[in-house]
Amino acid sequence: MAADEQREWWNGEIGDVVLSDETIQARIAELGAKITEDYADDPPLLVCVLKGAMLFLSDLSRAIELPVEVDFMAVSSYGSATKTSGVVRIVKDLDVDLTGRNVLVVEDIIDSGLTLNYLRKYLSARKPKSIEVCALLIKEGEQRVEQELRYVGFTIPSSFVVGYGLDVAERYRNLRGLYTYVGKGSS
C-alpha cells in the first residue's frame, strides 16, 4: 500500500504515515537478532499483550532464531477511548507457569507506562527468573512511570496512532504501516 494512498474505508480518519511497513519490519529484524543473542542459552517465554501487540508478536517471534514459547494476556486501560483511563483490568490471564522462566513481555505501545508498571508487578508475583519488555513504540514525553525497557522499536511523537495492530474502537489494526489518527470527519 503506498504511503500516500488514501483508502475509501478510512473515511478520512487516517492522517500521515508515522512508520512505513518496511521501516517497521527492518527494526523488528534488528530486535529479533538482539533477542536471539541475549537469550541464546535460555530462550524466553514471549508474553503478548493483546490485542495491539498481536502483529508485532507474530513478526518478532519469527525474527527470533530460538525455540521460544508464546502466551497471551489481555489487559484494558483504554476501552474504546483514545486516552488511557489509568485503571488496568486483566481481561485474559496467562495459561503457563512463570516460575523460574525468562519472560519477555511484548507490548505494542508505551504511553503513560501505568499499564506496563502494573503488569510487571503482577507477573513478578509469579516468580519468573527475569522479566524484560520489548515494546514496538514509546510515546515521547507521555510516561508517568519511569520504565527500564530492554528492547524498544521506535520513539514516536505524542499523537494517537493506528495501524500495525493498534486500533481505535477495534478499527484500523490491519493497516500495514503506522498512521496518525485524525478522527471522524477530518480530511
> Which residues are identified as catalytic?
111
Could you write out the three-class secondary structure of the chain?
Answer: CCCCCCCHHHCCCEEEEEECHHHHHHHHHHHHHHHHHHCCCCCCEEEEEECCCHHHHHHHHHHCCCCCEEEEEEEECCCCCCCCCCCCEEEECCCCCCCCCEEEEEEEEECCCHHHHHHHHHHHCCCCCEEEEEEEEEECCCCCCCCCCCEEEEEECCCCEEECCECECCECCCCCCEEEECCCCCC
